[in-house]
Structure 1
């Protein structure tokens, strides 16, 4: 179903050119870009006409006034879809979108290979103490190689918290390294976890048995501070904590305490409460913490893939086709009705309104 001319809007935050290129030469889609730090009036002039908002998932890069909140939706009555630039959607109020009849899509899986690779980079870096060795080589002479002796991951047990697109890829890599793989995921049946390459266990069992615990779950009200001081205490002494999920799922102060006490051997941290973290952050002061700046999914290949998937899903939605990564499937009847109304409005019949 063609819908005359529809307006796709994004901020001027960087996105791979594949996104914009996907709409070039089309007669039915116009792409507009608004300045996120410029005059608010200029941004609203663009957003208020939008049918689709490509919303950055970078919560600490996108000014809060441009988050897809109930207030923004009220000012953008023609909005049919909010598309996250990433797998996460911390900048989008999904409940408010659903209430307004606005579809929400993300790009889950588009960067799975990149995130899984970095997960193992962090894991190997911490287990083999590569980062510690690198730092000591740059600042001192005369230390023995045995003082930075690490451990192989072969034969160790990896516990995956959340075995979705990324977790499944991590499980495959772990088996290639000769690791035993455990997983917990409240959204999946045990048989499906097994099919994805892991032995299903409870979170408590995973924490108690794993030599490495790696987070790959979404950030939502059920997972915030899920890995707290009690969870770190239940992990094996000498184990390693890895997260490439989202900041806020683990308690940063509790992690710092578990490392300082020697209960944990090290950590690989890609995601933070505040990104980037302050320079005096306790975790950044420790040589056994491999710290990165939410870059697990930031590769040329992943960014291009995410941008391409986003554009494809937007075009599917505007054609009336249900996209594969619809976050709020219950909105579909209301979305379809509003899409039809937008088509009629485009033919000069009647206005479209939020549900």
Structure 2
């Protein structure tokens, strides 16, 4: 009887060394993908991989040709041993989920561990814009202050928050805003009435949300459904006193339409952590506007979130290679095909029991 092959995991980088430390204790062959090395070396590693913690350097993909290392059809076709592809954090737009599903490859993300960091960042944007904190800072540093009453802000108390996509991040933001007594509206086609009532939010259409909200907060993932979701029509429907905030992905909203809405006073301001091009060029028109507060996709980058995501990432790979069904499986319809391939390649039949269910069974 032959010994099953040792699972091989290829990664580009961890959010924190804790992932590597945990995986060192597992029976998993962990290989670092060096994108500065000759391509042949990188392809040799990937072609032998059973798991791939996908490279997420979308900001340099167009410049360096790094797009070939994202989990698209070309990489999937070339890497025939690949069983699973995972991304760190909630975003998974660097993975072609449909192509993976067709190939029998499981796709996972880690939406929970970074939720606190991103939700706090979103709340920070809300407070900054409403209280004109960055605007006041710019005024103080820019010369004689003049009339400080021109920096009059507003309060969050009693305002209406509209959340587009009530996942882990949006849900945590709702909790953080509870002390402000805000009415919370949610547009999320996957949220049912029972869950909405339990969270104390009201389900509405997108049209209702943008019309009624004082803060429109986008936290949904970038998918075929959400690409271009917020455009000229939605910005035109917002209150002139409303703020647009996004910690999602740039292509969920139309940047030109947002710029026009901000320049014409159709909306009061915007808090942006994401852009169509990242990092954005310094001459990006949005960065020239005084009613914009921006950060370079750093909402989820905190010491705590980096470690939590790394730990969850390592545990997720342990779950996958143990033949258990991962909690954050994004394409559950792949499971039968995935199990067949897992058995053929690693000579072990996976189980439909999740890691969470297994833990409960032993308590």
TM-score range, shorter chain: over 0.9
Higher relative contact order (CA 8 A, sep 6+): 1
Q: Give 1:237 deviation, angstroms.
A: 1.8
Q: Aligned residue for 1:21?
A: 21
From the superposition, tell whether residues 320 and 16 of structure 1 become closer, same or farther in structure 2 (CA, over 3 Å). Answer: same
Q: Aligned residue for 2:168?
A: 165
Given that 1:163 and 1:193 are in contact with CA atoms closer than 8 Å, whether structure 2 keeps it comes out as no
Give the whole-Å Cα distance in 1 for the aligned partners of 2:145 and 2:238.
35
Q: Aligned residue for 2:55?
A: 56
Give the whole-Å Cα distance in 2 for the aligned partners of 1:274 and 1:258.
20
Divergent runs of 4+, >4 A: none
**Unpaired runs of 5+ in structure 2?**
349-363
Q: Which SS does the other structure have where 1:22 is aligned?
A: helix
Give the whole-Å Cα distance in 1 for the aligned partners of 2:56 and 2:92.
6
Give the whole-Å Cα distance in 2 for the aligned partners of 1:239 and 1:217.
19
Match of 2:313 among 310, 315, 324: 310
Q: Which SS does the other structure have where 1:220 is aligned?
A: coil
Instruction: Give per-residue Cα distances to partners, 1:2-52, cap 9 Å, x unaligned.
Output: 9541110012x45310111111133x2110012113210110111111010
Q: Which SS does the other structure have where 2:43 is aligned?
A: helix
From the superposition, tell whether residues 148 and 3 of structure 1 become closer, same or farther in structure 2 (CA, over 3 Å). Answer: farther
1:33-44 matches, cutoff 5 A:
33-44=32-43
- CA RMSD in angstroms comes to 1.5
Given that 1:132 and 1:287 are in contact with CA atoms closer than 8 Å, whether structure 2 keeps it comes out as yes
Q: Give 1:157 deviation, angstroms.
A: 0.5
Match of 1:241 among 220, 241, 244: 244
Q: Aligned residue for 1:272?
A: 275
* 2:325 is aligned with 1:322: yes
Match of 1:209 among 209, 212, 217: 212
Given that 2:115 and 2:169 are in contact with CA atoms closer than 8 Å, whether structure 1 keeps it comes out as yes
Name the stretch that deviates more: 36-45 or 268-277. Answer: 36-45
1:139-218 matches, cutoff 5 A:
139-218=142-221
Number of aligned positions between the proteins: 342
Q: Aligned residue for 1:93?
A: 96
TM-score computed with the length of structure 2 as normaliser: 0.91
Given that 2:15 and 2:309 are in contact with CA atoms closer than 8 Å, whether structure 1 keeps it comes out as no
1:117-156 matches, cutoff 5 A:
117-156=120-159
Q: Give 1:202 deviation, angstroms.
A: 1.1
Give the whole-Å Cα distance in 2 for the aligned partners of 1:32 and 1:142.
56
Give the whole-Å Cα distance in 2 for the aligned partners of 1:194 and 1:245.
24
Given that 2:160 and 2:184 are in contact with CA atoms closer than 8 Å, whether structure 1 keeps it comes out as yes
Name the stretch that deviates more: 51-60 or 286-295. Answer: 51-60
Q: Give 1:255 deviation, angstroms.
A: 0.7
Given that 2:162 and 2:186 are in contact with CA atoms closer than 8 Å, whether structure 1 keeps it comes out as yes
Q: Which SS does the other structure have where 1:187 is aligned?
A: coil
Given that 1:103 and 1:328 are in contact with CA atoms closer than 8 Å, whether structure 2 keeps it comes out as yes
Q: Give 1:145 deviation, angstroms.
A: 2.1
Q: Give 1:344 deviation, angstroms.
A: 2.9
**Unpaired runs of 5+ in structure 1?**
346-355
Give the whole-Å Cα distance in 2 for the aligned partners of 1:59 and 1:190.
36
Give the whole-Å Cα distance in 2 for the aligned partners of 1:22 and 1:254.
46
Q: Which SS does the other structure have where 2:52 is aligned?
A: strand
Give the whole-Å Cα distance in 2 for the aligned partners of 1:244 and 1:268.
9
